[in-house]
Homo-oligomer: A and B are copies of this chain.
Amino acid sequence: MMHFNIFLSGEIHSSWRDNLIQKAEKLNLPVDFSGPVTDHDASDNIGVNALGDEPQSFWKDHKAAKINAVRIKNGIENADLVVIKFGEKYRQWNAAFDAGYAAALGKSYIVIHPEDFTHALKEVDAQAMAVARDEDQVIEMLQYLSQK
């Protein structure tokens, strides 16, 4: 069996990570998952919570985004595979940023997105190793890839 460390990037407003992790566990797949902090509020406020108030929202966001980057960068750099989900809501520029980051490091990544994002995500899809519609398709690939 081949073991994979997988970083789950992108959407943090649905339970897709738990969904994927539970299915992988049920199948006993030899994979380990990591991802960003998904508590949206904690994530937005970690900068000011840890380091003190910022009157300007730009710097509040800046401090939070940098602290989060410690975890995300670490997760992508230690991953054998990155799975990136683009959901229906928000602009999710961070998901596309992570895809570009993974691509430049030569890391394999798989994208999950609805069909109607096809044209808008064509540059992200172009460097992906697979473009899936949902978690089940990802599980099918992981089951295949991690077999004996």
Q: Which of A43-77 contact B (CB under 8 A)?
A: 46, 49-52, 55-59, 61-75
Q: How large is the interface on A (under 10, 10 to 19, 20 to 34, 35 or more residues)?
A: 35 or more
Within 8 A of B (CB), among A84-136: 86, 90-106, 108, 110, 117-127, 129-133
Q: How far is the CA of A132 from the CA of B66 in the complex (A)?
A: 13
**CB of A33, distance to nearest CB on chain B (Å):** 10
* A14 / chain B contacts, CB cutoff of 8 Å: none
Write the residues of chain A forming the contact surface with B, with a CB cutoff of 8 angstroms: 2, 4, 34, 37, 42, 46, 49-52, 55-59, 61-75, 78, 80-81, 86, 90-106, 108, 110, 117-127, 129-133, 137, 140-141, 144-145, 147
Given known pairs A104-B101, A104-B104, A144-B42, the reply for A123 and B69 (CB within 8 Å) is: yes
Q: How many copies does the complex hold?
A: 8
- Most chain B beta-carbon neighbours within 10 Å: one of A74, A122, A132: A122
Docked complex Cα distance between A4 and B71 (Å): 9
Interface of A is mostly: helix
| A61/B119 contact (C-beta < 8 A), A46-B141, A74-B108 known | yes
Contact of A65 among B59, B100, B125, B137 (CB under 8 A): B125
3 smallest CB-CB distances across A and B, nearest first, come from A100-B100, A104-B104, A65-B126
